[in-house]
Structure 1
Amino acid sequence: MKIRRKIEIAVISDVHLGTFGCHAKHLLTYLNSIEPKKLILNGDIIDIWQFSKRYFPKSHLKVIKRIMTMAANGVEVIYITGNHDEMLRKFSNTTIGNISIVDKAVLELDGKKAWFFHGDVFDISIQNAKWLAKLGGYGYDLLTLINSCVNWYLEKRGKERYSLSQKVKNGVKGAIKHINDYEKVISELAIENGYDYVICGHIHQPKMEYVQNKHGKTMYLNSGDWVENFTALEYQFKRWKIYNFNNDKLAPFVTEDEDENLEVQDLIAAITIVKRAEKKK
C-alpha cells in the first residue's frame, strides 16, 4: 500500500513533455508520492511547439495518465497555459470534470491572495519575436539532449550531474539581467494589485523570496522545471516550500504499469488537431 504525502497545493511547470530534455520518470515518481487537494499545472506541460509524432515515450504518456487519475480521484487540476502550450489558450475557461484550463488563476489561501500564471506574457522576447523564441527552444532542446548524454557518462563514472544550460545562463550577463528584470516586474505588479503571493514558471529558475518596495510587499515564487532542476512548489500549513527532487528524499514509488485508458495514438491525434487548427487561424 502506498502512503502518499497529503498537501493542500502542488505546483509544477515547464515539464516539456514530448521533448528529449523532459525527465518524465522523475516527475512521475513525485506525482505518485503526493496527494494534493489542488494540482496546478503552471504552463509548458506538453511542449506543443516542438511536438513530434516520432518522440513521445511511454513515461511521458504515464505522466498524463497519472494527472488524469488524480483528477478522477477528486484532485482539482488547474491547467494554466504557457507559451509552449499556448495553442490550448483557445480552450481557456473550459472545465471538464475536475480539470479546468485557464490563462491565470487567483486563489485565496488562508486569508491571503495568490496570483498564478505562467509568465510568458511578461517576456518581451516571446511577445515581440516569437519565431526567435521558438528557434531558441529547439536549440535548448538540443543542448539538453547533449547534456543528458554527458550526465549518463558522469553517472556511470560515479560523478555528479552537470547542467550545461545552467552554465550557459550563468555565464551570460544578459541572461542574468533578463531573469532579474522578469522577477522585478512581476513582483512589483503583484504588489500594485495587492497580491500576497505571485506564483509563476517560464524561466526555469526555482525561487522563493519576499520582495518589498514603498508600496508594500509580496512573496515571489517560481516552480522551476522538470528539465534540469526537477522542482515543484508545495503549500501546506499556511507555508510554501520548494520541493527539490534531487535533495528531498522520497520513498521508492514504483511507476504504475496498469493498462492506460489513453493510448499514445489518441494523444498524438489530439495534439495534431490542435496544431492544425492553430495554423488555419
Structure 2
Amino acid sequence: MEKRNIDVVVISDVHLGTYGCHAKELLKYLKSIRPKTLILNGDIIDIWQFSKSYWPESHMKVIRKLMKFVSEGVQVHYLTGNHDEMLRKFDGMEMGTFHLQNKLIMELDGKKAWFFHGDIFDVTMQHSKWLAKMGAVGYDTLILINSFVNWVLTAFGREKMSFSKKIKARFKDAVKFINSFEQTAAELAIEKGYQYVVCGHIHQAEQREITMENGMVTYLNSGDWVESLTALEYQNQNWTIFKYDHKDFIKDETDEGILSDGEDLKRKLDINVLLQSIKYEIAQ
C-alpha cells in the first residue's frame, strides 16, 4: 500500500496492554501513513491495567513504530490521559521530536486547535477513581467476551456486533453524558477563542460544528482503537475521520510476526493468562 502524506494525525485510547486493544490493525494503519505531526491524545498505554502477563509482540511493534516516527523527524506529541495519568508529572519533557504534554495548542492554517484527552470532564474520574478503574476492568472483560462472540459469528457468516455500543444506546444516561461532554468541551474552547477542540476519552469518534450564544467551534473526537478503530486526519485545511476497514489492508495480511485473528483470540482466551491478569487487578 502506498503511504499517504498527512499534515496532522490524531489517535487516542489505544489501551496497549489490554485484551481489547487492536494493535495489529493500528500497526497497519501507522505503516500506511506519513504524517508531519502525530498527536497521541491519551490512554495510549493502559498503565491502570498493565500486567506483565499480557504484552503481545503486536503491542511492542506499535511502540517501535512510534519510535521510528520520532527517529524520522515526525513531531510526536504524547498527551496524557487518565489511564496513563502517572506520566502527567513529566509534563513538558522533550526528547528530539518527541514531546510529553498534558495538553497542546497548535495553529493550523490560521486557526487555533486545542488538544487534550478530556477526562477532566468526567465526574467519576474526579470523585470516584476506584469506581472508574473497576469499570475499566469490566469494560476490558466485556470486550474480550465480545471478541469471542464475533469470532463465532464470523465463522458462521454472520455480521459482527458491539456489546458496548448496544449498551450505550439502551441507557439514556450514557447518551446524556456524551452530549454533556461535547457541549462542555465546546463551551470552554469558545471562551478561550479556539476554532477547534480535539478530545478522546469517550471512545466515540465525532466531527461536528457546535454553535452557542457566544460563538461556534468545531468539536472533534478521535474515537479509539478498541472498538471504533478510528483516527482524525488533517490535510488540505480539512479534518476527516479515518475508519479502519479490513478490506483496505488485505495486502498487508502477510506482515511478519502479526498474529491472525484466530491466533490472537486464542492467546487472549488463554485461561492461565486471564487468571494471572485477574489476580494482578485484585492485588492492586
Instruction: Give the TM-score, by structure 1 length.
Output: 0.89
**Does structure 2 retain, via aligned residues, the 8 Å contact 1:9–1:236?**
yes
Which residue of the partner structure matches residue 97 of structure 1?
Answer: 96
Which residue of the partner structure matches residue 117 of structure 1?
Answer: 116
Cα drift, residue 52 of structure 1: 0.3
1:10-68 deviations in Å (ceiling 9; x for gaps): 10000000000001001001000000000100000000000000000000000000110
**Does structure 2 retain, via aligned residues, the 8 Å contact 1:43–1:79?**
yes
Which residue of the partner structure matches residue 227 of structure 1?
Answer: 226
State how 1:1-281 maps to structure 2 within 5 Å.
Answer: 3-246=2-245, 249-250=248-249, 252-253=251-252, 255=255
In 1: Cα distance, 2:77 partner to 2:218 partner: 21
Q: Percent identity?
A: 56
1:199-231 deviations in Å (ceiling 9; x for gaps): 000000000000011211000000000000000
CA pair 247-55 structure 1, distance change in 2 beyond 3 A:
closer
Aligned residues: 258
Of stretches 141-150 and 238-247 in structure 1, the one that deviates more from structure 2 is 238-247
In 2: Cα distance, 1:13 partner to 1:101 partner: 14
**Does structure 2 retain, via aligned residues, the 8 Å contact 1:33–1:250?**
no
CA pair 208-99 structure 1, distance change in 2 beyond 3 A:
same
Q: Secondary structure at the match of 1:252?
A: helix
In 2: Cα distance, 1:153 partner to 1:132 partner: 32
In 1: Cα distance, 2:256 partner to 2:91 partner: 30
In 2: Cα distance, 1:21 partner to 1:112 partner: 36
Cα drift, residue 172 of structure 1: 0.8
**Does structure 2 retain, via aligned residues, the 8 Å contact 1:231–1:244?**
yes
CA pair 219-248 structure 1, distance change in 2 beyond 3 A:
farther
Runs of 4+ in 1 over 6 A off after TM superposition: none
**Alignment RMSD, CA only?**
1.6
Q: Secondary structure at the match of 1:242?
A: strand
Of stretches 154-163 and 107-116 in structure 1, the one that deviates more from structure 2 is 154-163
Of stretches 245-254 and 21-30 in structure 1, the one that deviates more from structure 2 is 245-254
Cα drift, residue 252 of structure 1: 2.9
Instruction: Give the TM-score, by structure 2 length.
Output: 0.88
Q: Which runs of 5+ in 1 are unaligned?
A: 258-278
Cα drift, residue 246 of structure 1: 2.6
In 2: Cα distance, 1:89 partner to 1:252 partner: 39
> Match for 1:51: what amino acid?
F
